[in-house]
Structure 1
Amino acid sequence: MDYEVELTVTASTAPPQEAAPEAAPETAPAAPRSRGADTRALTQVLFGQLKELRPGTPEHNRVRGALIEANLPLVRYAAARFRSRNEPMEDVIQVGTIGLINAIDRFDPDRGVQFPTFAMPTVVGEIKRYFRDNVRTVHVPRRLHELWVQVNSATEDLTTAFGRTPSTAEIAERLRISEEEVLSCIEAGRSYHATSLEAAQEGDGLPGLLDRLGYEDPALDGVEHRDLVRHLLVQLPEREQRILLLRYYSNLTQSQISAELGVSQMHVSRLLARSFQRLRSANRIDA
């Protein structure tokens, strides 16, 4: 890039220095400079240049772009913390880059703070905001989301300490919350992605979730009919109601009903016929 060429030219045009005396054989060679130190030094130089340029000019935009590219490893490092969210890493890095640009525009090198220290909270905050506002299929309360982060962290710590996955009670005891809250947090953590009800279940060889969730209740059609019969029965005289109940709910024969009520079987038959006639005339569906 142009800024690299400028730095190289500057270094090559510097006045020559006297050659240092040859080091003794037993002297250890100096350790090579790390990439992180080179990036910090380059960032400091570029911010010094940026401060002297007027915003909006081509030169200002060029130096600003160089700062962004030089600090992209910081964004990748921050994005790696969210790898377990099953979101495309390219999208997370793109969102983190927005946070990096905001940090560059707000950074003041005169405050004596290293730029990575200043930029990291801004980059991570932008990524978290992206997950909170755009990724979740079901939005959960903010308190539950923040508690879910604590549950996640406690789960990792207890897994390392115990060498196994901790129980709900152990997590609740660690955070001093109820087990119901832990379960709610775990359920909230599943709201990032929704699975289609028609999607086949991987690995178990079973049909889709939709085929296993519900079934056709054969008694469902009778709900409306039972409600209608209940409405019509209360319109009959009490003795006729009793006869119908004995005949069709207790499954008694007409002779058994006549013995139960102390009337003739013929009279029971006439009462049943009259009850049916009244029910048909009062049936609002047939009407």
Structure 2
Amino acid sequence: MLIDMSTSRPVTPAPTPAATTTPTTPARRNHDDAPDTASRFARLAALEEGPERDAVRDELVKAWLPMAHRIAGRFRDRGEAIEDLRQVAALGLVKAVDRFDPERGAFESYAVPTITGEIKRHFRDRMWALRVPRRVQELRNKVRLARRELAQTPGAPEPSAADIAAHTGLTEEEVAAGLEALESFSTLSLDAELPAGDDGYSLVDTLGGPDASFDVVVDRESAKESLRRLPERERAILYMRFFEDMTQSRIADRLGISQMHVSRLISRSCAMVREEALGRRDGRG
């Protein structure tokens, strides 16, 4: 309490105006790798093609390269070397610099999705050993993330297809497709040794070889119509010779003719069948 010494009366102090507070919007925090290059982009847009423009373009790419490397780091541990990912990100950065219009906003807002899209396109088009539909690739990513999240609990068992389906909202059939796609990202070499086989026994050893019988089937089908038009005796001789594997002498004894005559009939019949079959194959029949 204050006292007026001239009147000895208490004096009530005047109220102090309340301090006014103005709400402040926190300033947007830029990354350390987001330099201020607005003036250089404006200059780049004003320059014609030539050495000076190329120099400014190179300066911009160099200034924003750390950001591209940061984005590439988000995709590490996905089967691709980090240096290769940085190369892809740098390519996306160059495209962003070339296509950016300074009048349409901040460069970072345009460059981030451009670089990210370039990296995702690299994984989609270059990294799959087997080409699978984009829908299946998306299922693979969902299944991969779900398995990682479900396995974070210490001591948790390997999640089943039903667990993954419940976690992601996918059907079990979709989960199965995603699990199969997980194995399609890379292929096994044919020279890889089989784990359950003997030493030196590789996958290529399980593959079959060409079957010469297929050519025989084609030849038989080609000759079938011509064989039907042969006289009955000639058909019988060819059957005994080529299907029953009888010698010409035995055929001659069975039919009561000379072995020389059997030889001539076989040669003449085969020539006729061959000529008709080749004629049909060439379109003459």
Is the helix fraction higher in 1 or 2? 1
- Give deviations 1:164-184, integer Å, cap 9, x for gaps: 443321111122223232122
1:78 is displaced (CA, Å) by: 1.9
User: Could you tell me which of 38, 44, 47 is aligned with 1:50?
Assistant: 44
- Distance (Å, rounded) in 2 between the aligned partners of 1:198 and 1:88: 24
Matches within 5 A, 1:119-130: 119-130=111-122
Q: Which residue is equivalent to 1:192?
A: 185
Offset at 1:123? 0.9
Length, aligned pairs only: 192
CA gap 1:181/1:35 in 2 versus in 1, 3 angstroms: closer
- Over 3 Å counting, the alpha-carbon distance change for 1:141 and 1:75 in structure 2 is same
Which residue does 2:253 correspond to in 1? none
Higher-Rg member (1/2): 2
The percentage of aligned residue pairs carrying the same residue is 38
Instruction: State the Cα distance separating 1:149 from its structure 2 match.
Output: 1.6
Aligned partner of 1:177 in structure 2 is: 170
CA 170–57 in structure 1, closer or farther in 2 if over 3 Å, else same = same
The Cα RMSD (Å) is: 3.7
- Deviation string 1:188-237 (CA, Å, 9 cap, x unpaired) is 122222221212469x996554278579xxxxxxxxxxxxxxxxxxxxxx
Q: Secondary structure at the match of 1:63?
A: helix
CA 178–64 in structure 1, closer or farther in 2 if over 3 Å, else same:
same
Mapping for residues 119-268 of structure 1, pairs under 5 Å: 119-160=111-152, 164=156, 165-200=158-193, 207-210=200-203
C-alpha spacing 1:181/1:48, structure 2 compared with 1 (3 Å): same
CA separation of 1:208/1:186 partners in 2, compared to 1, >3 Å: closer, same or farther?
A: farther
1:100 offset after TM fit, Å?
0.9
> Is contact 2:35-2:64 (8 Å) kept?
no
Deviation at residue 70 of structure 1 after TM alignment: 1.4
Gaps of 5+ in 2: 1-28, 209-238, 247-285
- Aligned 8 A contact 1:55 1:61 in 2: no
Q: C-alpha separation between the residues in 2 aligned to 1:76 and 1:208?
A: 43
TM-score normalised by structure 1 residue count: 0.55
| Matches of 1:209 and 1:125, distance apart in 2 | 39
Please tell me whether the aligned partners of residues 197 and 208 of structure 1 are also in contact (alpha carbons under 8 angstroms): no
Supply the AA of the counterpart residue of 1:92: L
